[in-house]
A and B are shown apart, each in its own frame.
Chain A
Amino acid sequence: MSLLSVRDLTVKFAMRDNTVTALNQISFDLAKGERLGIVGESGAGKSITGFSLMNLLSRPGYIDSGQILFGGQDITQLSEAEMRKIRGNRMAMIFQDPMVTLNPVLTIGQQMVETLRAHRSLSKAEAEQIAILKLREVYIPSPEERLNQYPHELSGGMRQRIIIAMALLLDPELIIADEPTTALDVTIQADIMELLLELCQSNKVGLILITHDLGVVSQMTERTLVMYAGRLIEAGPTREIINDPQHPYTQGLINALPQQTLPGQRLKQIPGNMPSLTAIPTGCPFSPRCEYAVDHCRKILPEIVRYGQVEVACHEVSRLQNTNFEEASA
């Protein structure tokens, strides 16, 4: 049985005049200990997916329909009090910017101890022992002293390590990491990712990694979801998606990577911008930016269809595969 099973998840935002659909019928599964990447441009709905799983959408966002089965239980039906017992305990989250994630007026120790004591009946001393243990796991030097320090006394990389340690405090089954290195120095990014990967593997924790960095996804995850304008457009094993992307959008993302371009050449951009959620085009939402789009792409929304190991939402996939094949053989 899979650890997490999301079925037709639809999230809406109630605006003043109308409601906007931010996530449109997203479905995916995550096995125990599996690592899944969610990629897409800004505004694709990656972070909203992450926060929906925690049932932490901030107003005016709400889950409109669909199921989130976590360990077989539909958590969209849980009360706030029941959901609180899952958050930070069985399902932990790592936020984007460690500089603003920790509370500036509470010490690291207070923030770690409170997390443990919110879920388990432990004495302060017992909780501190666990905290020290976890800080050691993320290679924080002299963890005993860190407990008495305030966040502002620590660097961004150190803070993100502490946040990873906090995510591991209660040995969760799933960690959702929302662009955990975007706010960090490039030199530290790789260290943090490596640490996260190592800890997920050794503790057999499931990971949902939300990022726009395909390079990171290819190193960190086993499976990948590609999102566009609140929809899932391609999903499958990470290796397949990186090596042989099917959807023109995924192809565009991979072609836009600097590694795909010779030095001195311009990067290959995808023309245009992601549509605003209030003005999603009819038919395939990517069609206005797609070089392969034909008439019915602009009229009919493509269903997500399985082709071998991957699922793709594109009318023209079969034709594209043929053209790619022809190009390769020519």
Chain B
Amino acid sequence: MLAYLVKRVFQAIAVMFAISLIGFAIQDNLGDPLRELVGQSVSEEVRQQLRDELGLNDSFMTQYIRFLGNVLQGDLGTSYFFKEPALDVILKKLPATLELVAGATLIIIGLSVPLGVYTAIKPNSVLSRIIMGLSIVGISIPVFLTAILMIFVFSVELGWFPSYGRGDVVHVFGYWETNFATADGWVHIMLPSVALASIMLPLFVRLIRAEMMEVLQSEYVKYARAKGIRPYRIYFVHALKNTLLPVITVGGVQIGTMVAYTILTETVFQWPGMGFMFLEAVNRVDTPLIVAYLIVVGFIFVVTNTIVDLIYGLVNPTVNLARMGA
């Protein structure tokens, strides 16, 4: 178990190295930091002098190693716009994004399993056909369009849900602001969560359905029938457990992807998370913030995938974590 963990952590570190290299390459090539630091009126000589002082004339590798050293100490540069450490800016926006992702994940987990199982057990029923039809629609419509349509229907026409912002948030554990403590917070997070879930949910319904249908054809399900096991136990114990194993692996990757999808959702709903922040940073050519965002999102991706792999090992008895490390 420990050996496997160490192995996975080393893999994660290798991935983070690659991300940091890409991040630095962007920073190195995107815009001129001097333009942001000094105005138009500074002479070329002074600029060169400043460049030397800031180390901008050093070789790519020297600069990259310096960048890495700073990153390891938690210094991801200073945002040009906020004049604050980029990491602090992102960490302040992180709770909003994570809560949005959590909301969408809850919707996905809560709905995809029953819908996927139902459509697999009764593939020819009218309801199954409707669910499968809607899922194609859901996958096909881009998130930003779904979001705008939802605002139009539920905020403008019906007036049930607010169309922007987080509403009443409550401070918990120091700086973390949560939506889940007040009714107003819940109302505000509804539409963005549904919009964010709109692509992943149909994907998961279809994935679970396909896996489940395959499992239902297996010998061990047939054998369970031959033993006279009750149908609900065959579906929910024999079949579902085997169905969810591959789904967990895909699911982990998708949670990471959802963090990236928040850029669109947050922009449409003016959700003050890091996706919205990233888009603003791009508009302002706030290079350190862009790079910091890239590294933080990459880090979240790597961490969730590692955790998912560990969970998979715990759920699947045929994966022996202790032996895999060797």
Q: How far is the CA of A54 from the CA of B316 in the complex (A)?
A: 31
Q: Are B220 and A100 closer than 8 Å at their CB atoms? A: yes
Which chain A positions have C-beta within 8 A of B230?
84, 118
Contact B225 A56 (CB under 8 A): yes
A152 to B231 alpha-carbon distance, docked (Å): 25
Using A106-B238, A114-B233, A150-B318 as known contacts, say yes or no to A101 and B219 having CB atoms under 8 A apart. yes
Q: Which of A87-95, A203-211, A273-281, A285-293 contacts B (4 or more CB under 8 A)?
A: A87-95
- B residues within 8 A CB of A85? 228
| Minimum CB distance partner of B244 in chain A | A105
Query: What is the interface of chain B mostly: helix, strand, loop, or mixed?
Result: helix
For residue A92, which residues in chain B have a CB less than 8 angstroms away from its CB?
226-227
B242 and A104 form a contact (CB under 8 A): yes
Ordered by A's residue number, 19 sampled pairs between the chains whose C-beta atoms are within 8 Å are: A58-B217, A86-B228, A87-B225, A88-B226, A88-B229, A93-B223, A93-B226, A101-B219, A101-B220, A103-B224, A104-B317, A104-B318, A105-B241, A114-B227, A115-B227, A115-B228, A118-B227, A118-B229, A150-B318
CA distance A97 to B220 in the complex (A): 10
Which B residues lie within 8 Å of A115 (CB)?
A: 227-229
A146 at the interface (CB under 8 A from B): no
Chain A residues closer than 8 Å to B227, beta-carbon distance: 87-88, 92, 114-115, 118, 166
List 5 tightest A-B contacts by C-beta distance, closest first: A88-B228, A88-B227, A87-B228, A150-B317, A100-B219
In this complex, what residue of A is CB-closest to B216?
A58
CB distance from B275 to the nearest CB of A (A): 37
Indicate whether B121 reaches chain A with its CB closer than 8 angstroms: no
* Bound-complex Cα distance A150 to B319 (A): 11
Taking a contact as CB atoms under 8 Å apart, the answer to whether A106 and B222 are in contact is: no
Which residue of chain A has its CB nearest to the CB of B245? Answer: A105
Given contacts A105-B316, A106-B237, 16 further A-B contacts (CB under 8 A): A56-B225, A58-B222, A84-B228, A84-B230, A86-B228, A88-B226, A88-B228, A89-B228, A92-B227, A97-B219, A100-B219, A101-B220, A103-B224, A105-B317, A114-B237, A118-B228
B233 neighbours in A (Cβ, 8 Å): 114, 118
Tell me how far the C-beta of B273 lies from the nearest C-beta in chain A, rounded to whole angstroms: 37
Which chain B residues lie closer than 8 Å to A150 at the CB level? 317-318
Q: Would you call B249 an interface residue if the criterion is a C-beta within 8 Å of the partner chain's C-beta atoms?
A: no
Interface: A119 (CB within 8 A): yes
Interface residues of A (CB under 8 A from B): 54, 56, 58, 84-89, 92-93, 95, 97, 100-107, 114-115, 118-119, 150, 152, 166
Q: Which residue of A lies closest to B225 (CB)?
A: A56
User: Which residues between 174 and 230 of chain B lie within 8 Å of chain A, taking CB atoms?
Assistant: 217-220, 222-230
| Distance of A86 from chain B, by nearest CB (Å) | 7
Q: Complex formed: what's the CA distance from A309 to B137 in Å? A: 68
A92 to B237, CA, bound (A): 21
A84 to B228, CA, bound (A): 5
Tell me which residues across on chain A come within 8 A of B238, comparing CB atoms.
103, 106
Knowing A118-B228, A118-B230, say if A100 contacts B218 (CB, 8 Å).
yes
Query: What are the interface flags for B269-312 relative to A under an 8 Å C-beta threshold, 1 for contact and 0 otherwise?
Result: 00000000000000000000000000000000000000000000
Q: For B220, what are the chain A residues with a Cβ–Cβ distance below 8 Å?
A: 100-104
Chain B residue with Cβ nearest A58: B222
B316 near A56: Cβ-Cβ < 8 Å: no
Nearest-CB residue, chain A, relative to B233: A114
- Residue-wise, chain B 67-101 has the 8 Å CB interface mask toward A (1 for contact) of 00000000000000000000000000000000000
> Residues of A contacting B222 with CB < 8 Å?
56, 58, 95
User: Are A152 and B317 in contact, with the CB atoms below 8 A?
Assistant: yes
Q: How far is the CA of A87 from the CA of B223 in the complex (A)?
A: 10
Which residues of chain B come closer than 8 Å to A86, judged between CB atoms? 228
A119 CA to B219 CA, complexed, in Å: 21
Give chain B nearest CB distance to A123 CB in angstroms. 17
Known: A89-B228, A115-B229, A118-B230. A102 touches B223 (CB 8 A): yes
Do A103 and B242 have beta carbons less than 8 Å apart? Answer: yes
Residue among A95, A107, A114, A152 making CB contact with B219, cutoff 8 Å: A95
Among residues of B, the one whose C-beta sits closest to the C-beta of A86 is B228
Q: For B317, what are the chain A residues with a Cβ–Cβ distance below 8 Å?
A: 104-105, 107, 150, 152
| A95 / chain B contacts, CB cutoff of 8 Å | 219, 222-223, 226
- Cross-interface CB contact of A119 among B218, B228, B231, B315, cutoff 8 Å: B228
- Which chain B residues border A84 with CB–CB below 8 Å? 228, 230-231
Closest B residue to A110 by beta carbon equals: B237
Chain B min CB distance to A169 (Å): 9
A166 to B, closest residue via Cβ: B227
Closest to A104 in B: B318
Q: Which residue of A lies closest to B224 (CB)?
A: A103
Bound Cα distance from A152 to B317, whole angstroms? 9
Q: B242: which A residues are within 8 A, CB to CB?
A: 103-105
A169 nearest CB neighbor, chain B only:
B227
Tell me how far the C-beta of B240 lies from the nearest C-beta in chain A, rounded to whole angstroms. Answer: 10
